[in-house]
Structure 1
Amino acid sequence: MHMDGKTCIETCSVNNGGCDSRCHDVFSGVHCSCPMGFMLQADRKTCKDIDECRVNNGGCDHYCRNSVGSFECGCKKGYKLLINEKGCQDIDECSFDRTCDHMCANSPGSFQCLCHKGYSLYGITHCGDIDECSINKGGCKFGCTNVPAGFECTCPTGYKLHWNRKDCIELIKCASSGPPSHSSLACSRNGKKDTCSLTCSSKTLLHSDSDSSYIFSCGTPAVRPGINSKQNTSHHCIETMVLPIKQKASFKLKDSRCDLLVRGRTSRVEENTRHGNAPATCTDCQLTYINLKCDSSWKARSRSLRSTINKKITRISLELEAEVKVDDATANCGISCLHQRLERKIKSILKSLRKSINQERFVIRLASIEYEVIQRGTAGRERGENCLPGQQRMWGKCASCPPGTYYHGQMDQCQPCPQGTYQEKEGQLLCDLCPGADANGPAGASNLSACGGQCSPGQFSTSGYKPCQSCSRGMYQPDTGRTQCISCGGGINTRHEGATSFQDCETKVQCSPGHYYNTTLHRCIRCLIGFYQPEFRQNFCIACPGNSSTDFDGSTSIAQCKNRHCGGELGDYTGFLESPNYPGNYPSNVECTWNISPPAKRKILLVVPEIFLPSEDECGDLLVMRKNASPSSITTYETCQTYERPIAFTARSRKLWVHFKSNEVNSARGFQVPYVTYDEDYEQLVEDIVRDGRLYSSENHQEILKDKKLIKAFFEVLAHPQNYFKYTEKHKEMLPRSFIKLLRSKVIAFLRPYK
């Protein structure tokens, strides 16, 4: 009844006042209202869903999905939703564990794995060693040995490697005057002071990884005749079949430290050598190799009460190699006699060297710059102002001189290698001479190929340097700086002179990718299993990197190389199971078995974020989880299909036997299934969480189960629910509010049932 006492009006007690949703009695009748997400229509009774996505995309960065009474923001692949549930942020896949075998480069919405030099990428994220020897023997003239991250060419007896590290050249007879010595060790005495200096002009190498040790070498160690592997490029000639003299010595000093400090262009060493008495030098004894190791360490405190202060102890180890001058042999003193004389001379020098080291009068001379080998006192130089040898200070930090440069001691900075020299390594004190007649390459050369003047592909010369000749017909050469060309074989000609590849050879048939041309049979042969060939008209197949292999013969791409290792880590509290070669396609005819056995009183929860198994071949590829291997045992999970929607579930048995098998018909990405073990006292809580439909109804909740960092946070809650409130603040910064709300309500209801 209206207030006038005469008129009848509607009330909410009859048919909800005609309202779609909420009804309120007011003095004039009824007033309808709508819940959040709905709008009252013109009839003032009907409620209609508001499409929030029509206005400014709902405030979403990427996608907006309208739903009845609400809406939800979503992100593109490679992005995740922020905790405000509207903004999107790039997922930094490189921050995850085990994303890439070697290096990872993140990019907006994606990432890329990279491999170290000498390794090749396969299976999207994996790196395997390249077998360079499978690619035309690595370009080696004779033998090729594959080593991790590289390869080494070898030569037969009587030959040595050319500077290009691929060709072999015959050991020639030495010139009458003998090759010039590149190293010398000179000692002299002035009164009671012994002074020694080690001079090197090339082939130097410095390694220093701390401020208390370094290794310095000069020259190349000798190779015993008859050893074919790892032949060096030193100047040894045929007469060096006479083994060199090798001497080792060690020195120990107290209250000193290893430190290569510049002394100056004119030093007391030079003065003492100039005015000293009876200099003992080894400038004429053909020192071919010198290796000096200096190491400083603190001496442990003595148990005696009289000695309570630590002292710095420095140890110097020296190794020398010297060759006998065979041309000096006479009827009265042959090779054996010369050998004994040289041995006595070196021993005499080492005695003087020991005294000079004790008197702090031993230097290394490089390019007229002298470096003190050790420093007296425990303080040494101030490391806050100075850097290790071979380093310079840049932007407040010490940085090694990069390849193509050397450390100039007097200028205390890195300098480009002069013309005609090169340096392949970091942090060196000298550049090496470029091989070749002119040695007029550009300044700052960082490897032999940058020295310039080498023969181009399709050319050769006896030295590998200009002037060069073009490869004749029937020959080809793909590399620079070579001394010979490669024959096409089988009497095959090339289309022209100066050919640079076997593809220029006029074969009787043209081989397609996945095949190589056999020059004996003159037909195409399919690449064997474990090899591939992506190009036409080649005479070799490439070995798959690392331990990977192909499913079939005749493979045409490195993408067909797959690792057959069953992946995963099995831990007591967390772990994961991974199909072989994941995230690349798994191989055919593979079987994997995992056994998960949690500690006592703990049960297993697993999450399948997504799984890719082709269903076209009638379950030829299958993943099954059971109590044990028996087909009749309790089954927790079984699938032979692709599911991109995540699912979490608890194991129906305390232990799990997990088995995966594939056939030869199809292949796919497979799976990575993480798991966590939880206290059986919390089984009711865990079951309540994973069976709640809200865990999967939201696409944003589904993405949590796919995100490696977020699933880890989720697992922390499930593994230790009693600690939830201790790290809930940390999780609030990672998980959406709706997800936190879902977990919090269940944890509180379980842990505090009476509050």
Structure 2
Amino acid sequence: HQLIGGSENADECAEGSDDCHIDALCQNTPNSYNCICKPGYTGDGKQCEGKFMSPNASWAFVSLLPLIPCFPAVSVCVCPDVDECLDNNGGCQQVCVNTMGSYECQCKDGFFLSDNQHTCIHRSDESCAVNNGGCDRTCKDTATGVRCSCPVGFTLQPDGKTCKDIDECEENNGGCDHFCRNTVGSFECSCQKGYKLLTDERTCKDIDECSFERTCDHTCINYPGSFECLCNKGYILYGLTHCGDVDECSINNGSCEYGCLNTQGSYECVCPPGQKLHWNKKDCIEAVKCLPNGKPAPRAQLVCTKSGDAEVCSLSCPSNALFLADSENYTLSCGVPIQPDPLAPPIKQKAKFKIKDAKCHLSPRTGQFPCTDDCQVTFVNLKCDSSKKRRRGRKSPSKEVSLITAEFEMEMKEEEASDSCNIDCVRDKMRQKLQIAMRTLRKSINKQQFYIQFSGTEYEVAQKPSRIPEGADTCSTGQVFQDGKCVSCGAGTFYSGEQEQCVQCPPGTYQDMEGQLSCEPCPSTEGQGIAGAKNVSQCGGQCPAGQFSTDGFRPCQLCPLGSYQPEPGRVLCFPCGGGLMTKYEASVTFRDCEAKVHCAPGHYYNSSTHRCIRCPAGTYQSEFGQNYCINCPGNTTTDFDGATNVSHCKNQMCGGELGDYTGYIESPNYPGDYPSNVDCVWTIIPPHKRRILIVVPEIFLPIEDECGDVLVMRKSAVPTSITTYETCQTYERPIAFTSRSRRLWIQFKSNEGNSGKGFQVPYVTYDEDYQQLIEDIVRDGRLYASENHQEILKDKKLIKALFDVLAHPQNYFKYTSAESKEMFPRSFIKLLRSKVTRFLRPYS
């Protein structure tokens, strides 16, 4: 077939300007060219079709060769390869290369193959204007022809045209500290859980979870990639980060002989009328019982004298004194409270004294006040409270005021009555004597002439600022200045006013509290104990566990069969109950009692019925063979009975009305597993002309429950109201969205099936004038496309900073440009900046 066209003497085939089919050959002619289909093809040269396969018969082969050996038993005929290059060089202008079943044309150096795949074009004739110069990406015209190049993240292939993505992760992990993920034309670093990617987008840094608000209820310890919460003494951990009070009274009655009273962080044993607590704070003894050495209890002594016009009072405290102090207050108890006697009740007097321009502070005083027996008091409770009172007028400085509350108690004895002065007469005289002492005390306090004697040192009760050297660091009594702060003297020591430092308790004494001014004598007269004893048990001489005595000290007796004692220094042993016997004498635990059955964790042994009973809901038992269950800490409870661990105790509190500029909602017991059968409802009512933005960093709801646990956010409680968000599955990919209604009704319901970590969802309210901008940001897929961006929405500090600016735009100036670059990745800043600029200058 002949095509008429082209310019005179032009070689269209060589120039590649012919219009021949890819399976046709181009033959140049004077003033024109011919297109001829290749062997094995039919057509007019512009369109060529193969004739090897008949369209109607799949196994009909038509061969151009005279002989093709095919045998009847063979279902497929094997045809030899045709070397197309033998026939007119395969139609190639320069080089023809035969391949199995086909062939290809190639060009010599300085030429490149045209689009018809047969003719060659000289490189000096190519141009970026034609087919981008054959370049895959960027084309540039140069004096020697076109030059192809590739963008960052790609490499130019040997053909000089094609660009191939570079896998940066193959070399040195892409420079990433932890994980490297290759992307088209780039790569992305990410970090292990518990680490944060820095703004260099390579380095991973440990997240200090302890720097966040509300990470732990009490003490937080940060570890590389993790953290741990610890609770104060008397509290136990639940829900991974929360601390609840331990109900020690549920643990075998707190090991108290009689009654047990639980308190926050501690507990107290109580005794019946006519008895008092033993020094071990567990057993009860007769109230009139004398100390081991037979001496009466030391008394406090109030001494007031007049020297000229000055009234001076001094309070001398015995050794059994209690001192508690902080920066602005202290409480001092001297002596032992009197056990009420109906025939001769004690005389009590209470008074308050105000000292102007003074601060509560016990300061050591040189020189001691002489002691007399003028006024002995059995018990004194002295409390000093400092507070600043603002004077009238805005610019007037605050005024320091110290208020001292003193309670004195004097003991009445029947034997002091006589024929000339009966018991009422004695009472009147003693009350009058105490009232006179109180009046004198008031005068001495007003003139700052009131002193307290403690363990051989005398202290001033309240001190005016003029007595404190300017610039001096002053700590409360019982504290010393260390490492730039005031620290209380620890247990096993006391504060010495003479030495102005913490001193170790000498042998034969102990101190189990902090910030005290003296040490208590050990109850035993035999064992001297150790220096720095922190409790009575370190005094030495007590009966060991499994033994007892009348005073808790040696000589001791073994606990008889059928009883046990787990603690040292006790005056009794606990019976096994129910007629049970122990395997041997001196048993130390109930598990030594020969129970009829050995109870598994989650159960307790009932000594009356001799059966194992499941721990009721709200209690747990993690050990074998116990006769009690422990109450769940704080306000937590369990989802079921028979709980075996404190982790089964969960806080069920949730819901409420929210209206602040920022806040959060979280599943009950978060970050621990949420309880079953809860129904939490929150309502977010933003201030006037403000809208709500929600960020869900991650949410954990088990899909196995078939949507039994659901979080839904909508306009109101009506099911048909506008819904903003609803899910019943786990999503670790964050999402941000604006509320579709001005207020939000949020509900979280769980069934009694599987449980999970739940969620903590922060929210912020913003000015409705920014609605278009906020929606533009949160609906942009680039906000979530990068793992780095996703981590921003999970980072509590960064979310707080973003919310701070959204809630109060003027706070933007708190974050300088340099700080922002250190906080957020460049790509994130670029994304936000472009949107804010377009919002503020829409027509620029």
> Normalized against structure 2, the TM-score is what?
0.79
- The 1-side partners of 2:649 and 2:763 are apart by 29
Larger Rg: 2
CA positional deviation for 1:313: 7.1
CA positional deviation for 1:373: 4.0
Question: Does residue 451 of structure 2 align to residue 363 of structure 1?
Answer: yes
- SS in structure 1 of the partner of residue 221 of structure 2: strand
Cα distance, 1:440–1:568 mapped onto 2, change above 3 Å: farther
Q: Is the 8 A contact 2:334 2:379 kept in 1?
A: yes
Per-residue CA shift, 1:346-405, capped at 9, x if unaligned? 345445555665776553333333334456894455560654432334456543322221
- The 2-side partners of 1:111 and 1:568 are apart by 30
Where do residues 604-623 of structure 1 align in structure 2 (5 Å cutoff)? 604-623=692-711
Where do residues 212-611 of structure 1 align in structure 2 (5 Å cutoff)? 214-224=330-340, 242-249=344-351, 260-264=362-366, 267=368, 269-270=369-370, 281-282=374-375, 285=376, 287-293=377-383, 317-329=405-417, 335-350=423-438, 353=441, 362-373=450-461, 378-380=466-468, 384=472, 387-395=475-483, 397-438=485-526, 440-566=528-654, 570-611=658-699
Aligned-partner residue type, residue 248 of structure 2? E
Cα distance, 1:691–1:504 mapped onto 2, change above 3 Å: same
- The 2-side partners of 1:263 and 1:455 are apart by 42
- The 2-side partners of 1:701 and 1:297 are apart by 50
Per-residue CA shift, 1:660-717, capped at 9, x if unaligned? 1111111111111122223333332222211111111111111111111112233345
Aligned pair partner of 1:199 in 301, 316, 332: 316
- The 1-side partners of 2:691 and 2:179 are apart by 38
Cα distance, 1:77–1:358 mapped onto 2, change above 3 Å: closer
- SS in structure 2 of the partner of residue 701 of structure 1: helix
More deviation in 510-519 or 50-59?
50-59
- The 2-side partners of 1:315 and 1:644 are apart by 57
- The 2-side partners of 1:473 and 1:491 are apart by 11
More deviation in 50-59 or 563-572?
563-572
Aligned-partner residue type, residue 829 of structure 2? I
Where do residues 705-716 of structure 1 align in structure 2 (5 Å cutoff)? 705-716=793-804
- The 1-side partners of 2:769 and 2:443 are apart by 76
RMSD over equivalenced CA pairs, Å: 3.3
- The 1-side partners of 2:756 and 2:648 are apart by 12
Cα distance, 1:652–1:248 mapped onto 2, change above 3 Å: closer
- SS in structure 2 of the partner of residue 705 of structure 1: helix
Structure 2 residue ranges without an equivalent (≥5): 1-14, 16-109, 112-120
- The 2-side partners of 1:471 and 1:144 are apart by 23
CA positional deviation for 1:124: 0.8
- The 2-side partners of 1:333 and 1:130 are apart by 54
- The 2-side partners of 1:552 and 1:507 are apart by 26
Where do residues 91-102 of structure 1 align in structure 2 (5 Å cutoff)? 91-102=207-218
- The 2-side partners of 1:301 and 1:598 are apart by 39
- The 2-side partners of 1:344 and 1:71 are apart by 91
Q: Is the 8 A contact 1:568 1:575 kept in 2?
A: no
Question: Does residue 147 of structure 2 align to residue 31 of structure 1?
Answer: yes
CA positional deviation for 1:90: 1.5
CA positional deviation for 1:316: 5.0
- SS in structure 1 of the partner of residue 835 of structure 2: helix
Cα distance, 1:204–1:658 mapped onto 2, change above 3 Å: same
- SS in structure 2 of the partner of residue 733 of structure 1: helix
The aligned residue for residue 81 of structure 1 is 197
- The 1-side partners of 2:401 and 2:793 are apart by 57
- SS in structure 1 of the partner of residue 788 of structure 2: helix
More deviation in 11-20 or 739-748?
11-20
CA positional deviation for 1:579: 1.0
The aligned residue for residue 209 of structure 1 is 326
The aligned residue for residue 827 of structure 2 is 738
- The 2-side partners of 1:420 and 1:241 are apart by 38
- The 2-side partners of 1:355 and 1:539 are apart by 60
The aligned residue for residue 80 of structure 2 is none
Cα distance, 1:480–1:174 mapped onto 2, change above 3 Å: closer
Q: Is the 8 A contact 2:209 2:227 kept in 1?
A: yes
CA positional deviation for 1:721: 6.8
- SS in structure 1 of the partner of residue 836 of structure 2: helix
CA positional deviation for 1:143: 1.4
- The 2-side partners of 1:720 and 1:188 are apart by 65
CA positional deviation for 1:41: 1.9
Where do residues 96-111 of structure 1 align in structure 2 (5 Å cutoff)? 96-111=212-227
The aligned residue for residue 633 of structure 1 is 721
Q: Is the 8 A contact 1:544 1:561 kept in 2?
A: yes
- The 1-side partners of 2:652 and 2:493 are apart by 44
Per-residue CA shift, 1:550-598, capped at 9, x if unaligned? 1011111111111111157723432222111111111111111122232
Aligned-partner residue type, residue 243 of structure 1? P
The aligned residue for residue 735 of structure 2 is 647
The aligned residue for residue 231 of structure 1 is none
Question: Does residue 114 of structure 2 align to residue 21 of structure 1?
Answer: no
Q: Is the 8 A contact 1:312 1:378 kept in 2?
A: no
- The 2-side partners of 1:14 and 1:396 are apart by 77
- The 1-side partners of 2:645 and 2:548 are apart by 32
- The 2-side partners of 1:312 and 1:77 are apart by 52
Q: Is the 8 A contact 1:569 1:576 kept in 2?
A: no
- The 2-side partners of 1:637 and 1:197 are apart by 71
Q: Count residues with an aligned counterpart.
A: 722
The aligned residue for residue 685 of structure 1 is 773
- SS in structure 1 of the partner of residue 794 of structure 2: coil
- SS in structure 1 of the partner of residue 378 of structure 2: strand
Per-residue CA shift, 1:505-541, capped at 9, x if unaligned? 1111111111111111111111111111111111111
Question: Does residue 260 of structure 2 align to residue 158 of structure 1?
Answer: no
- The 2-side partners of 1:90 and 1:43 are apart by 46
Cα distance, 1:84–1:336 mapped onto 2, change above 3 Å: same
Q: Is the 8 A contact 1:188 1:280 kept in 2?
A: no
Structure 1 residue ranges without an equivalent (≥5): 225-238, 274-278
Cα distance, 1:590–1:18 mapped onto 2, change above 3 Å: same
CA positional deviation for 1:251: 5.4
- The 2-side partners of 1:300 and 1:688 are apart by 52
Aligned-partner residue type, residue 170 of structure 2? R
- The 2-side partners of 1:361 and 1:696 are apart by 72
- The 2-side partners of 1:309 and 1:76 are apart by 54
Question: Does residue 298 of structure 2 align to residue 145 of structure 1?
Answer: no
Q: Is the 8 A contact 1:686 1:718 kept in 2?
A: no
> Normalized against structure 1, the TM-score is what?
0.87
Aligned-partner residue type, residue 144 of structure 2? S
CA positional deviation for 1:432: 1.5
CA positional deviation for 1:45: 2.1
Percentage identity across aligned positions?
A: 61
Aligned-partner residue type, residue 319 of structure 2? S
- The 1-side partners of 2:751 and 2:241 are apart by 24
- The 2-side partners of 1:523 and 1:678 are apart by 62
- SS in structure 2 of the partner of residue 281 of structure 1: coil
Aligned-partner residue type, residue 256 of structure 2? C
The aligned residue for residue 229 of structure 1 is none
- SS in structure 2 of the partner of residue 660 of structure 1: strand
CA positional deviation for 1:425: 2.7
